[in-house]
Structures are given as C-alpha cells and as structure tokens.
Amino acid sequence: MTDSSLAEQARSTFERLRLLINGTWTSGTSDKEEPVINPANGRALGMLPHASPADIEAAVQAAQRGFLVWAVTPAIERRRVLLEAARLLRERIPLLAHILTLEQGKTLDESRAELGSAIDIFEWYAEETRRIYGRTIPARQVGTVQTVTHEPIGIAAAFTPWNFPALTPARKMAGAIAAGCSCIIKASEETPATCIALATACMDAGLPPGVLNVVFGVPSEVSQALLEHPLVRKVSFTGSIAVGKHLSMQAAEHGMKRCTMELGGHAPVLVFDDADVDRAAEICAAGRFRNAGQVCVAPSRFYVQRSAYARFVERFQQAADRLVVGDGLEKTTTMGPLASQRRISAMKSFVDDAVARGARVVSGGSNIERDGFFWRPTVLADVPDEARAMREETFGPIAPIAPFDSMNEALARANALPFGLASFVFTSSGTLAVQASSGLAAGMVGVNNLGISIAEAPFGGVKESGIGSEGGIEGLQAYLLTKFISSMQA
C-alpha cells in the first residue's frame, strides 16, 4: 500500500468518525461534536460526534442484551472471535499506524509497535478464555459437592486516555470480551479513530451486537451517566489520580461497582556505579523520550550514584541531542509532538521551576517554533528533590537527574512520593538488584531493562497509582465474579 493510498484512506476514516451502539455505527442524536486535531500541525482531521443522554442509555441497554448472549457463549467461541479480531488488526497495521500517528503524534515505528502490543493482548486473552478454571473443595459431609466457579461480572464501563490509543483500549476491550462481559468504552476524544478501528475489527470478527459499544462526549458527563447506571457493574479507568479517585467514589456510591484504576506515576530510576553506565543512559533516554515522554510508566526521575553521575549525564545528553523532533509521519523523525498546546505550557513551567531551584539545563529546555506542539528533548542536571519535576509527573520529554550516595538514601528518595506505578534499577550486582527491587514501592520493577508492559504480565500500581491490574491472569480475573456453591443431595 503506497503512502498516498494510506493518506487517502486515513482521510476518509476521519471524515466518518462515529459511535458504536448495538452493532451499528451512528452519529447519535446529539448536535454536539468536536474537532480531532493533528498535534503535528494543529489542524483538524475530522469532527467527532458526542453521545446524547439517550445514546448513552441506548448503549447500556444494548450492552445488557449483549451480555445476556455473550455470558453464555462458549469460551471456545469467544476465543475464536478474539483471534479473528487480532488477525484482522495485524492485516491492517499499515493503515492503523498511519491513523494512530495522525491523531496522537508518535512516530510510525512507535505506532506499529503499539499496535503489535495491542494485538498481543487480544491473542493472549483469546487463549486465556479456555483457562477460566474453577475448583472443587473437599466436602465435610458425605453427599455434598463444594465448587468454586467464575462468572462474568456484567457490563463494564471503560475509560481510556490519549497517549496509547491502541494499547490501553485493547487491555480493557479484550479482557472484558474474554471474560464474557459486555463493554461500553469511552476512549479519548483526542484520539478516537484508533479505538474505533479496534472495535471495527471486533465487529468484523463476528462479535454479537451490543457486546462492545463505543461512545464519546464530555468525559465527566459520560462517566457520570455510566457510573450511576444500575446495569453497569464494572469500571476500568486509566488516567489521572484526581479523576480516578472521583470515579472510585461514584462507583462506590452507586452500587459498589468493582473498579480497576491505573492512575498516574512518576517512575524513579536507580543507577548504581557498578552498572554499565553508558548502556543505562542510552536505555533510559530512549525510554524517557519515547512518545515524547507521554508514558505513564516511562523512567521519569533519575538518581545516579555519585561516582557515575557525570558520565551518565553526559551520555544522556548525547542521546537526547541525537533525536530528530518532527512530524511522526516523516521517516527521519525519532520524536513526535506533544498532545496539545497546554502540554507545551506545562513543560515550560517545569523547566522554569527547576532552574529557579538550582538545576542546570544540559540539553533542550524550550519549545520549537513551528506549527504543531513540539518541545525539545530536555535534560536537567543537579535537580533538587523539591523541584516540581522531581515531585510531579511531567508527562513530557523532560529528564531530571540527581546524584545519590547510598542505597538507603536512594530508596528513601525514590519512595518519598505518593506514586507507585513503575520503578527501574541498573546494576551489575545480583545482590543490589534484589535489595533495590524489593525495596522499591511500585507495582512493577524493571532491572537493567524497561520491559515491564507485556500481555502476559499484570500491569498496575500501588499507593495512589491505582487499584488492581490489567494484563496477565490478573487482568482477566478483574472481569470475573467468584461464586462458591455447596450442593447437598436431597
């Protein structure tokens, strides 16, 4: 498929953005819509319709009908649908990567990789449908059979952000579908087309009407309507801590709905002086600037043992300076734009605050004057712990670095924040690796690598970074109820 053909098909995709309700793509009954903006040039790609309250109600009723069908559908059939959806998505990667890059901004290579990970999730959950095992408990009386079974929880309401428009919806869609639930997903209004493409593949694969519904609108209005609805029994949210807390309270108030919350993080990195410092700096820079730093589990604050500190900063700077910032569709680009103009303002405030507190700007530190929302990869050295960049998730291409002297000091500083999503350690010592990874308060720890997000492993945090996990067997269990049955002969 040629670049011009991909561009034409993508343009057509953004001209017909729709809601999915009861198996039908529709513009809904609301007169509200909003533009979807290309962050590489600030221009509109298309107009996205909002769901009206009547549309939301229709989606819930469709999901309830879909659930009644899907919950009793044999696991082997759920597996078939998920595998077929994965096959279709793999065939469509060239076009979907183009669409994803247009609406989100990341490079085509990053978009292809994200789609590959999303497809892995569909395939993983497809196979797990056949392993939703119960168990038999030895009875205390003759003539009694005691069993434990797992049943789909019901309608799941899923909310996803803009930074990973394929991966995050895939975790929620595939988990719910595999478990036998129905799902109403509200993806980000900033990146809707990728989620629509995932849902299209599911429908093309034979998913019954109503099992999966896609809606858009004012986030607070959509979430309130879904969380207050008595038929919705599960909530899965990825986003900010403040919104996650609010949704959790709503879920508790309106029927004690089960929640999975994957919230914010600020991943510390401990680099010990016995590590391969050059390799650690290269890996960390690649991870920090991936997706322009807009990654919840990206390494985001760096503590380097003092004797290795100068070398680490130097190599990190070199890696940052090699990056080519531009439109993600351009083959030479290695870092795309930020999501919006408000992210540019946020980056400036983080840098200004760090400098005012004594940090040094080693590289970058400013925006790029061109159409779109571009910020230079920024490396800050000698950043004090009280700087905002060391305390708040920057969610952008800023790397604050500081030295440390001892293990206890490093762990104390790493664990000082209320976040606990991801952490990373670089060392050649097995003893230090065990001590540091055990001592870090995080749901996921990478030792000498950043590979903590795979389909077969749980993905989630501790403290204010969330509740529960997605991915792995834990992600499937999040959509299942546990039932104990004690049956005695009459």
State the catalytic residues. 262, 296
For the chain, how long is the longest CA-to-CA vector?
80
Q: Which amino acid is at 95?
A: L
User: What residues contact 67, with CB distance under 8 A and at least 6 apart?
Assistant: 152, 154, 155, 181, 182, 210, 211
Tokens (6 digits) for 229: 């609805």
Q: Which residue's entry shows tokens 């104390």?
A: 412
Phi first, then psi, for residue 77 (nearest 5°) are -75, -40
Tell me how far CA of residue 68 lies from CA of 64, 211, 258, in angstroms: 6, 9, 19
Distance (Å, rounded) from C-alpha 47 to C-alpha 364?
35
Dihedral angle over CA of 14, 20, 25, 27, nearest 10: -70
Give SS3 for 96.
helix
Tokens (6 digits) for 457: 């492993």
Distance (Å, rounded) from C-alpha 342 to C-alpha 40?
14
Q: Say which DSSP state 70 is in.
A: H
Distance (Å, rounded) from C-alpha 34 to C-alpha 45?
11
Distance (Å, rounded) from C-alpha 232 to C-alpha 222?
13
Give SS3 for 66.
helix
Tokens (6 digits) for 481: 């109820």
User: What residues contact 370, with CB distance under 8 A and at least 6 apart?
Assistant: none
Distance (Å, rounded) from C-alpha 210 to C-alpha 226?
15
